[in-house]
Structure 1
């Protein structure tokens, strides 16, 4: 059943953050990219990284890898990965990286601030996959950290003793969809598919009913990671997305909702995500 686009738009204007309202206008109403980038600047710190709850589950002011990932994803969406803002974020990433290129899940200092319970300052986290992936997707080439991180990612993905699960799988696919070595990426995806089991889609420590679904892992038609799923899998998920629009016009997420501000921010994000999935995969919006 087609979604109610007018209700979704009303929800965005009612509940989404400023940066996401500008994203909606850019993505669905031919709006300019400049307001998106300007809104992002409010989350930027003097060190070049991003914080200030741009990642809704980590609400500290200090620069954090997850918030900086969100900024780079948004800059790529806006065609701004060649901007000074993106260059500053890349330099910050290089400064916090381990010698092997790995990026921690969080930097210490967030603990006194509101945050979801799963954050910890673990080294060499799966965010490395996602950060490397967004830079490769933006055709960034002359970046010393990216070269180190790419080798870090290959080592992790090609470790055949590892069972791919949850967000590790999602972020690994972000990398594999974008890294230039297509043959190696396709071989890695074939190996991952052989190692998948149904438990792979339930994040460890997640809430009851929380799971990653096909479009969480492979949102774009024609991407390399689509080989992990059948067309039936994709169409079934699209049907679910269409049916999950709520009465207020927005969509809801299935992980822990722990504050009104966090919930409102995420609902704006996932509403734009739902509309993007549907449009990009041929459904009417």
Structure 2
């Protein structure tokens, strides 16, 4: 591809003028993480920024896995239920995918697949977002079991899990058949539903990518999916600026994203905000609380610190992806 002189000057200007997180700020964040993060999050930080290895992340994750193959035990810092939940499986799969680990023969993955196929926390439409035993342990208010809100809050979890299974699962397994069925239901919901829950749109984004990656575009209503999901991403970014789940970086992890060009201004505004809001010392605060802190004040204080480490790492990864970390 050839560029005009003006194009080249624009690109240079964009690079020169872009706001970056300075090295001393990065080092300040690094020190905070070393002092405060869980072993799992420290392993992730080391993987991303210190040539750490996948094995260390897998080893740390193994301590959160239950005998049924699923995950609990505060893998989500906002839910202290030790029992396995479908959403926790979603968390772990996403975490591993982000570090390029998709070897589904590994015990962590085989355990997850076993859990997802056999869990009781499932309906005719997919895996449940909240489960009854959440109520027995410290948790954020949104983790209260609620069969009513599960009808739409479960969309994101089911979409994310189904996509991964379609792409990496055994096509001859019952679990794969379940994922095919759920995907069909999810696509029909896109045609008739307007409530997708807090993480539904993100789940649909992952499902679309996996349908492509699995070579299944002819098996589902692909063109409709592309058009509808693109519309929903744009609407969520623009219409819900106060909702932390509507951060464009939740949907657009790099310039390679299909949604980047249409939402470029919002993406770079979000990156600028990350840099501008870096505290003078330490890491960013989290923009939520449990809303039942009076019941679990000690648990929330611990959860808050864990989350600050998790989100600090997320922000650093996002900044680096867009060239926003200074050398």
- Aligned equivalent of 1:206: none
* Structure 2 residue 37 is matched with structure 1 residue 5: no
Residue 155 of structure 1: how far off its partner (Å): 2.1
Provide the rounded CA distance (Å) in 2 between the counterparts of 1:116 and 1:260.
Answer: 12
SS in 1 for 2:253: coil
* Structure 2 residue 133 is matched with structure 1 residue 109: yes
Query: Given the alignment, which residue of 65, 69, 79 partners 1:58?
Result: 79
Provide the rounded CA distance (Å) in 2 between the counterparts of 1:226 and 1:274.
Answer: 17
Provide the rounded CA distance (Å) in 2 between the counterparts of 1:106 and 1:140.
Answer: 24
Query: Given the alignment, which residue of 267, 270, 279 partners 2:308?
Result: 267
Residue 91 of structure 1: how far off its partner (Å): 2.1
* Structure 2 residue 217 is matched with structure 1 residue 215: no
- Aligned equivalent of 2:227: 187
User: Superposition pairs for residues 202-281 of structure 1, below 5 Å?
Assistant: 202-203=242-243, 210=244, 212-226=246-260, 229-256=262-289, 258=293, 259-281=300-322
Q: Is the 8 A contact 1:245 1:251 kept in 2?
A: yes
- Aligned equivalent of 1:46: 67
Structure 2: 5+ residue runs without aligned partners?
1-18, 294-299
More deviation in 69-78 or 41-50? 69-78
TM-score by length of structure 1 reads 0.85
Residue 195 of structure 1: how far off its partner (Å): 6.0
Aligned residues: 276
User: Superposition pairs for residues 92-241 of structure 1, below 5 Å?
Assistant: 92-96=115-119, 98=122, 100-119=124-143, 120-122=145-147, 123-124=150-151, 125-126=154-155, 127-135=157-165, 139-140=168-169, 142=171, 143-159=176-192, 161-162=193-194, 166-180=198-212, 181=217, 183-192=223-232, 198-203=238-243, 210=244, 212-226=246-260, 229-241=262-274
Greater C-alpha radius of gyration: 2
Q: Is the 8 A contact 1:130 1:172 kept in 2?
A: yes
Residue 121 of structure 1: how far off its partner (Å): 4.1
Provide the rounded CA distance (Å) in 2 between the counterparts of 1:24 and 1:92.
Answer: 28
Given the superposition, is the C-alpha separation of residues 185 and 28 from structure 1 closer, same or farther in structure 2, using an over 3 Å criterion? farther
Q: Note the alpha carbon deviations across 1:176-203, whole angstroms, 9 max, x for none.
A: 3433236443222244368668544555
Residue 217 of structure 1: how far off its partner (Å): 2.7
Given the superposition, is the C-alpha separation of residues 226 and 174 from structure 1 closer, same or farther in structure 2, using an over 3 Å criterion? farther
Given the superposition, is the C-alpha separation of residues 174 and 249 from structure 1 closer, same or farther in structure 2, using an over 3 Å criterion? farther
Given the superposition, is the C-alpha separation of residues 238 and 194 from structure 1 closer, same or farther in structure 2, using an over 3 Å criterion? closer
Q: Note the alpha carbon deviations across 1:3-29, whole angstroms, 9 max, x for none.
A: 221111111111111101001111111
Structure ranking higher in helix proportion = 2
Q: Is the 8 A contact 1:177 1:185 kept in 2?
A: no
Residue 261 of structure 1: how far off its partner (Å): 1.1
More deviation in 235-244 or 120-129? 120-129
Q: Note the alpha carbon deviations across 1:62-93, whole angstroms, 9 max, x for none.
A: 01122221111222234144112112112211
CA root-mean-square deviation: 2.6
- Aligned equivalent of 1:88: 111
Residue 265 of structure 1: how far off its partner (Å): 1.2
Q: Note the alpha carbon deviations across 1:67-123, whole angstroms, 9 max, x for none.
A: 221111222234144112112112211223646451111221121200011122434
Given the superposition, is the C-alpha separation of residues 134 and 243 from structure 1 closer, same or farther in structure 2, using an over 3 Å criterion? farther
Q: Is the 8 A contact 1:43 1:52 kept in 2?
A: yes
TM-score by length of structure 2 reads 0.75
Given the superposition, is the C-alpha separation of residues 214 and 197 from structure 1 closer, same or farther in structure 2, using an over 3 Å criterion? closer
Given the superposition, is the C-alpha separation of residues 105 and 164 from structure 1 closer, same or farther in structure 2, using an over 3 Å criterion? closer
Q: Is the 8 A contact 1:173 1:225 kept in 2?
A: no
Given the superposition, is the C-alpha separation of residues 91 and 31 from structure 1 closer, same or farther in structure 2, using an over 3 Å criterion? same
